[in-house]
C-alpha cells in the first residue's frame, strides 16, 4: 500500500488526479466522433453502387423489349408465351432465346416507349438457345455489346427484362462463376455459360445481362427452379457468333453422322493396350439407316473413341467436334469393336433441321 508522508504530498496527488479527469472530459469520444464519418463513408459506397446500376440501366433499358408470341406445339395446339429481347443493331435486329420464339406463329415486341412492333423470325438455334428476330420502324437506340472474355468473378452484373410480364424490371448481383456448361433443350451442351445471382424469373429469358458500363455481357436464359441465386446466361461472345450466322443463313450448320449413343467407361486394360487418351467413350446404341455412320460401316455396339484426330470421351465431346467444317469432309473415326481398334472413314452430312 502507498503511504503519503505529508499533507503536501496528498495535495499534489489530488491535483494531478483532477487534471487527468479534466483532460479526459475535454478529449472527444472517439467512438462517437468517428461514427458520422463511417456513416458518410458507407453512404458514399451505396451512392457509387446506385449510380453505377442506374447509369447502366439508363443506357440499356430503351433497347430491351417485351417479346410476346403465339406458338404451335408439336400436337398442333396453340399457346401464348412471352419473354424478353434486346435490340442490338440500328436496323431492327433483336436478340432473344430460342425457347421464347421457337415454333412461333406470331411475334410482337413492345419497347419501353410503349410502341408495339410486329416481328419476323430471322432464325433460331436450339443448341445454344439463341434466336434473332427483326422488327421494323423502331427508333430505340441499340444496346452496346461488350465481351464475355475479360469478365471476372465478383464483378457487378445487372439483368434487365420482363419477368412474369412486369416490363422493364431490373435486378442486380454479381458474377458468381464463369465457364459453366448447361444442357440445352435439344440435348447439346452450351459452353461458356455465366452464372450470376442477379434474380431471374420466367419472362427474363432473352433479356440482357450488362456490366457497370451498360455493355451487354450475356443473354439471360435460365434459373434453377427451387434454388435461390442460381441463374445462368449465355456469354455474349457466343451470342455474337450465333447471331451473325443466323442473320446470314437463318440457321447454324452442324455436322451429323446418324448414331444414337451414350457415354460409357472403357475397361482399363483396353485403355492401356490401345494407348487411349480417355477412359470413356461413346457406345453406339443404334445407327440410322442411310446415315453417314451406316455408310462408314459403324455398327451397334461399337465404342467411338476418336473422331478426326480428337479424343472422344463422351457424347458431349463428339458434339463439339461435329461442326460445320466437318460437313462433306471425309474424316476418320476410331472405334473399339470387341477388343480390337478399327479406323473407319466417314463423310458427315449436314444435320437436319430440328422440329
Non-local CB neighbours of 333 within 8 Å, separated by 6+ positions: 257, 296, 298, 304, 306, 307, 308, 343, 344, 345, 346
* Cell numbers describing residue 16: 494531478
Angle formed at CA 321 by CA 279 and CA 351, multiple of 5 degrees: 125
Alpha carbons 10 and 4: distance in angstroms, whole number: 7
Buried b (16+ CB within 10 A) or exposed e, 257-279: bbbebeeeebeeebbeebebeee
273-to-115, 314, 316 alpha-carbon distances in Å: 67, 20, 25
Q: Catalytic positions, please?
A: 99, 129, 205
Residue with cell 452450351: 190
Q: Could you tell me if 203 and 163 are in contact, meaning their C-beta atoms sit under 8 angstroms apart?
A: yes
Alpha carbons 73 and 68: distance in angstroms, whole number: 16
DSSP-derived 3-state class of residue 57: helix
169-to-140, 163, 165, 172, 198 alpha-carbon distances in Å: 18, 7, 9, 10, 12
Residue with cell 463511417: 38
Strand-pair category, 208-210 with 349-350: unpaired
Query: Closest Cα partner for 154 from 120, 187, 178, 124?
Result: 178
Q: Could you tell me if 191 and 323 are in contact, meaning their C-beta atoms sit under 8 angstroms apart?
A: no
Compute CA 221 distance to the chain's CA centroid, rounded to the nearest angstrom: 7
Amino acid at each position: 500500500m502507498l503511504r503519503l508522508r505529508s499533507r503536501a504530498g496528498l495535495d499534489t496527488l489530488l491535483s494531478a488526479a483532477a487534471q487527468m479527469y479534466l483532460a479526459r472530459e475535454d478529449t472527444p469520444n472517439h467512438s462517437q466522433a468517428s461514427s458520422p464519418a463511417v456513416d458518410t463513408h458507407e453512404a458514399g459506397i451505396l451512392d457509387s453502387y446506385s449510380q453505377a446500376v442506374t447509369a447502366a440501366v439508363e443506357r440499356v433499358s430503351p433497347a430491351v423489349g417485351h417479346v410476346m408470341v403465339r406458338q404451335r406445339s408439336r400436337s398442333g395446339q396453340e399457346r401464348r408465351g412471352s419473354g424478353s429481347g434486346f435490340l442490338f443493331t440500328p436496323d431492327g435486329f433483336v436478340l432473344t432465346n430460342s425457347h421464347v420464339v421457337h415454333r412461333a406463329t406470331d411475334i410482337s415486341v413492345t419497347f419501353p416507349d410503349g410502341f408495339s412492333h410486329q416481328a419476323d423470325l430471322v432464325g433460331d438455334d436450339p443448341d445454344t438457345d439463341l434466336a434473332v428476330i427483326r422488327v421494323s420502324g423502331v427508333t430505340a437506340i441499340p444496346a452496346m455489346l461488350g465481351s464475355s472474355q475479360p469478365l471476372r468473378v465478383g464483378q457487378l452484373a445487372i439483368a434487365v427484362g420482363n419477368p412474369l410480364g412486369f416490363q422493364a424490371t431490373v435486378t442486380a448481383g454479381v458474377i458468381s462463376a464463369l465457364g459453366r456448361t448447361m444442357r440445352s433443350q435439344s440435348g447439346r451442351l452450351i459452353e461458356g455459360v455465366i452464372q450470376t445471382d442477379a434474380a431471374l424469373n420466367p419472362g427474363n429469358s432473352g433479356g440482357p445481362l450488362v456490366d457497370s458500363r451498360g455493355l451487354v455481357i450475356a443473354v439471360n436464359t435460365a434459373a434453377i427452379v427451387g434454388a435461390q441465386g442460381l441463374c445462368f446466361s449465355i456469354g455474349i461472345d457466343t451470342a455474337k457468333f450465333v447471331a451473325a450466322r443466323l442473320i446470314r443463313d437463318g440457321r447454324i450448320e452442324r455436322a451429323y453422322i446418324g448414331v444414337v449413343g451414350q457415354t460409357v467407361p472403357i475397361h482399363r486394360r483396353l485403355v492401356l493396350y490401345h494407348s487411349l487418351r480417355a477412359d470413356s467413350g461413346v457406345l453406339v446404341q443404334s445407327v440410322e439407316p442411310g446415315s453417314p455412320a451406316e455408310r462408314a460401316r459403324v455398327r451397334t455396339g461399337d465404342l467411338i473413341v476418336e473422331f478426326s484426330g480428337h479424343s472422344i470421351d463422351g457424347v458431349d465431346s463428339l458434339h463439339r467436334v461435329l461442326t460445320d467444317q466437318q460437313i462433306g469432309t471425309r474424316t476418320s473415326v476410331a472405334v473399339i469393336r470387341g477388343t480390337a481398334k478399327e479406323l473407319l472413314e466417314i463423310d458427315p452430312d449436314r444435320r437436319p433441321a430440328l422440329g
